[in-house]
Amino acid sequence: MECKVIIGLGNPGPKYENTRHNIGFMALDVFLKAFCRQKEIKFQAKTRLNAEVCEFTLKGERLFLIKPLTFMNESGKAVVALKRRGILGANDNFLVVHDELDLPLGRIRFARRASSGGHNGVQSIIDSLGHNNFDRLRIGIGRPTDKKEIVNFVLKPFLPEEKKLVDKVLDICSEAIFCYLTQGMGRAMNKYNGLKIE
């Protein structure tokens, strides 16, 4: 059975839950709830993989949802562990879902073979694999006006007034991931890259 892998980026632990940097984790949680019919299936920590893992079958294909537990800046360690264990195929076909400062909240964008754009989690994966030949779903979180505030900004929760839009974005991301898995990257890019979520 063919295996597909979706990796959401974030930082582990209650301290970082619902922060902007963890929207990759949040997107996988919403996707699991929406598309896994077996409600008893949940993420489980796998020490040997440096990640929380959820595995189920979707449309006849084996699907792994992965949340690295290595903290954002060392996300590549979890990806290497997945490769070593044979979960990632020889071609490193997988989708990374992560926050994106260069997109406003309400925008998402699929990308293929792109640079990290300064995202430390993505850069860690590129450095660990030695290439950027993997797919990404970038979820806009906006950018602070003061560049010195970026670290604090990404590690803070979304504002209460943003919650409704965040929930809508996560629902659309869930649909977008399903489209990517079932119809391919080209269709997903055409359908979602120009979409403005309000």
Catalytic residue, candidates 21, 98, 119, 131: 21
DSSP state of 159: P
DSSP state of 93: -
Q: Active-site residue 21, yes or no? A: yes
Tokens, residue 94? 């997988």
Residue holding tokens 């040997």? 48
| Residue 127 burial (CB count, 10 A) | 12
Cβ atoms 33, 41 nearer than 8 A: no
AA identity, residue 5:
V
Q: Are strands 61-68 and 44-46 parallel, antiparallel or unpaired?
A: unpaired
Cβ atoms 7, 49 nearer than 8 A: no
Q: Which of the residues are catalytic?
A: 21
